[in-house]
Amino acid sequence: MAETVHNPDQYMYDFKHILTHGRKKIGLLIGAGAPVSINIGDESKWIPLIPDIAGLTLAVRRIKGEELKGTEALKKMN
């Protein structure tokens, strides 16, 4: 079996080549924590753009009224 080697210099060279010639499309993948790090609140209160698991759990626990029936049904499915 052939041995493969990761060469970061070669990847950077190829990336620069793609950028300078502009013929290929480039997509950037943003990590899962990126939306949580974006504050849409003011300086006194941190409100993430998209909440993390703890924030989503709090939002679901605040559900009242008719919508609560749906969340209870989902709990029973687990």
**Full domain range(s) for residue 53:** 37-78
Return d(Cα 61, Cα 38) in angstroms, integer: 23
Tally of domains in the chain: 1
DSSP 22-72: --S----PPPTTTGGG-B-S-TTS--BSS--HHHHHHHHHT--THHHHHHH
pTM for this predicted structure? 0.42
Domain annotation covers residue 29: no
Per-residue pLDDT tens, the chain, 78 aa: give them: 677 778 889 888 988 888 887 777 777 777 778 888 888 888 888 888 888 888 888 888 888 888 888 878 888 886
Cα 66 to its chain centre, rounded Å, is: 30
Domain annotation covers residue 15: no
Q: Which 3 state secondary structure label does DSSP give 3? A: coil
Domain annotation covers residue 27: no
pLDDT attached to residue 60: 81
Domain annotation covers residue 4: no
